[in-house]
């Protein structure tokens, strides 16, 4: 195994493109190091991207924020601007692991690791965040929702890697929230999870919404039917019931000792309801 610390994205892309064997990008390493230790992967090349200028920066852009791919959860959580604009995204990221893990773990790593239970991803999908990807032919932008394709699998080509994730601007009266269910209060993997992002008009009617579910399908799932259920409504009981039903209908979960299919399917709906109510109140609405 070789270890490289490139200083530019071009250098990193070149190193990866030239490597005939297996490459692993190293951001926070909180997944990579566990995989190395277990012998699950034996990379020929590790590319540490933390020393590429800009990859650890949070930069305001067009009313939103560009988050460098190597920004840790702790650094993101300390950024008041991002917290204020996208509180649901930040609360998803902050649920990852312990204080120690937060000191290293990144959103990009959480996304590219491809876990169906990744805590940062539903919030990013609900936010319609856009990943910037560097590859041998230069940069391209891709919605976060289109990156995961199955457990441990992404749509990234061999020599591609994320350089940043863009959280867009949002209209006034917007809010988002993320909730997960775990069997204890800290340090566990989501059994079901939901993120909701919405925008209200002055009367409190939902004019735009995105709902994403975690841990109930092979990938994080955007559920347009759940968003449709609350569009044009003020989160009255009927709209909430339709939201919950649409979420449960979108579930295709595994069945294991941490949660049965029935449990995960029902809880996904309940979490979507609660997340929608939190997002609604963050947007300034009163139910």
Partner 1 sequence: MKSIHVSTTVNGDAVEFICAPDESLLDVLRNRLGLTGAKEGCGTGDCGACSVTLNGRLVCSCLVLGAEAEGADVGTIEGLANGDALHQLQQSFIDHAALQCGICTPGILVAAKALLEKNPDPTDTEVRYWLAGNLCRCTGYDKIIHAVQDAAQKMRSA
Ligand X SMILES: Cc1cc2nc3c(=O)[nH]c(=O)nc-3n(C[C@H](O)[C@H](O)[C@H](O)COP(=O)(O)OP(=O)(O)OC[C@H]3O[C@@H](n4cnc5c(N)ncnc54)[C@H](O)[C@@H]3O)c2cc1C
As to burial, measured by CB atoms within 10 angstroms (0-12 exposed, 13-18 middle, 19+ buried), residue 119 is buried
| Minimum CB distance to partner 1 smaller for 30 or for 128 | 30
138-172 core/surface letters (b: 16 or more CB in 10 A; e: else):
eeeeeebbebbeeeeebebeebbbbbbbbbeebee
199 makes contact with partner 1 (CB under 8 A) = no
What is the footprint of partner 1 within residues 258-277 (CB under 8 A)?
Answer: none
Q: Which range, of 4-12, 105-113, 248-256, 258-266, touches ligand X by CB under 6 A? A: 105-113
Of partner 1, ligand X, none, which one does residue 69 interact with (CB within 5 to 8 Å by kind)? ligand X
Q: Which range, of 110-118, 220-228, 229-237, 272-280, touches ligand X by CB under 6 A? A: 110-118
Of ligand X, partner 1, none, which one does residue 127 interact with (CB within 5 to 8 Å by kind)? none
Q: Which of 68, 88, 92, 97 binds partner 1 (CB under 8 A)?
A: 97
| Minimum CB distance to ligand X smaller for 109 or for 148 | 109
| Minimum CB distance to partner 1 smaller for 14 or for 103 | 103
74 makes contact with partner 1 (CB under 8 A) = yes
Q: Least distance (Å) from partner 1 to the CB of residue 226?
A: 31
Of partner 1, ligand X, none, which one does residue 48 interact with (CB within 5 to 8 Å by kind)? partner 1
Q: Which of 58, 90, 96, 191 binds ligand X (CB under 6 A)?
A: 96
DSSP-derived secondary structure for 203-268: TS-EEEEEEEEESSSSS-EE-HHHHHHHTTS-S-HHHHHHHHHHHHHT-----BTTB-HHHHHHHH
Q: Least distance (Å) from ligand X to the CB of residue 5?
A: 14
Q: Which range, of 75-83, 99-107, 248-256, 266-274, touches ligand X by CB under 6 A? A: 99-107
182 makes contact with partner 1 (CB under 8 A) = no
Q: Which of 22, 34, 238, 287 binds partner 1 (CB under 8 A)?
A: 34
13 makes contact with ligand X (CB under 6 A) = no
Q: How many binding residues for partner 1 (CB under 8 A)?
A: 27
- Which residue has its beta carbon closest to ligand X? 109
Q: Which two tokens stand for residue 185?
A: 């209060």
Q: What's the start-to-end Cα distance of the chain, in Å?
A: 57
Of partner 1, ligand X, none, which one does residue 122 interact with (CB within 5 to 8 Å by kind)? none
41 makes contact with partner 1 (CB under 8 A) = no
Query: Which residues of this chain interact with ligand X, rule CB under 6 A?
Result: 24-32, 34, 49, 69, 95-97, 101, 104-106, 108-110, 112-113, 118-119, 161-162, 189
């Amino acid at each position: 195994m070789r270890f490289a610390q490139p200083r530019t994205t071009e250098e990193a892309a070149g190193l990866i493109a030239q490597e005939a064997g297996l490459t692993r990008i190293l951001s926070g390493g909180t997944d990579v190091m566990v995989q190395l230790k277990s012998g699950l992967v034996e990379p020929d090349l590790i590319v540490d991207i933390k020393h590429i200028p800009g990859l650890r920066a949070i930069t305001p852009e067009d009313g939103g924020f560009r988050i460098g791919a190597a920004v840790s959860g702790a650094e993101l959580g300390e950024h008041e601007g991002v917290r204020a604009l996208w509180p649901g995204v930040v609360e998803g990221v902050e649920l990852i692991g312990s204080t120690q893990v937060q000191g290293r773990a990144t959103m990009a790593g959480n996304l590219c690791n491809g876990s169906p239970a990744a805590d940062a991803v539903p919030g990013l999908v609900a936010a319609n965040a856009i990943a910037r990807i560097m590859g041998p032919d230069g940069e391209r932008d891709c919605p976060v929702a289109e990156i995961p394709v199955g457990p441990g699998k992404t749509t990234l080509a061999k020599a591609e890697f994320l350089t940043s994730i863009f959280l867009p601007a949002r209209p006034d009266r917007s809010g988002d929230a993320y909730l997960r269910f775990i069997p204890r209060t800290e340090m566990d993997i989501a059994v079901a999870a939901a993120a909701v992002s919405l925008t209200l008009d002055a009367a409190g009617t939902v004019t735009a919404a995105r709902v994403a579910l975690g841990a109930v399908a092979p990938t994080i799932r955007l559920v347009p039917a759940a968003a449709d259920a609350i569009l044009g409504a003020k989160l009255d009981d009927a709209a909430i019931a339709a939201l919950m039903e649409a979420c449960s209908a979108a579930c295709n979960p595994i069945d294991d000792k941490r949660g049965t299919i029935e449990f995960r399917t029902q809880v996904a709906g309940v979490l979507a309801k609660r997340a929608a109510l939190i997002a609604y109140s963050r947007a300034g609405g009163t139910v």
